[in-house]
Amino acid sequence: NAGVMQNPRHLVRRRGQEARLRCSPMKGHSHVYWYRQLPEEGLKFMVYLQKENIIDESGMPKERFSAEFPKEGPSILRIQQVVRGDSAAYFCASSPGQGGTDTQYFGPGTRLTVL
């Protein structure tokens, strides 16, 4: 049973370009969370999605950032017109979305560098 998959693992963009980060949740998981980790910092929540729905995007910047989790395919975090301050590690986590602990399992992350 594969874990949470993220790609690419490393992404380099120039200022003004677009970055697309992909996350495939664990098999059987219907909930996806995106977090951002700045250097020397903990992870900060960005957005919580279920299939075809955004449940909570309170941690996501209002401009340039968007996320989706379509019925088929991976979840996508999209950053338009990237700036240097977007350089960070972006982690996706998935959970089954059932009762109980609903533990989140993390992917290996995408490390975005903006030149």
Partner 1 sequence: GEDVEQSLFLSVREGDSSVINCTYTDSSSTYLYWYKQEPGAGLQLLTYIFSNMDMKQDQRLTVLLNKKDKHLSLRIADTQTGDSAIYFCAEEGSQGNLIFGKGTKLSVKP
- Applying CB under 8 A, does 90 fall inside the site for partner 1? no
Rounded to an integer, what distance in angstroms lies between the CA atom of residue 14 and that of residue 107?
25
Q: Under the criterion CB under 8 A, does residue 72 sit at the interface with partner 1?
A: no
C-beta closer to partner 1: residue 48 or 69: 48
Interface with partner 1 includes 74 (CB under 8 A)?
A: no
Nearest distance, CB of residue 46 and partner 1, angstroms: 9
Taking the least distance from each CB to partner 1, the nearer of 1 and 72 is: 1
Site track for partner 1 across 28-57, x = CB under 8 A:
---x-x-x----xxxxxx--x------xx-
Q: Nearest Cα to 87, choosing from 112, 115, 59, 63?
A: 112
| Token pair recorded at residue 79 | 């950053």
Dihedral sign of CA atoms 32, 48, 53, 17 in order = negative
108 near partner 1, rule: CB under 8 A? yes
- Report residue 22 as tokens: 């992909």
Q: Please answer whether residues 52 and 71 qualify as being in contact, where contact means their C-beta atoms are separated by less than 8 angstroms.
A: yes
Q: Residues binding partner 1: what is the number (CB under 8 A)?
A: 28
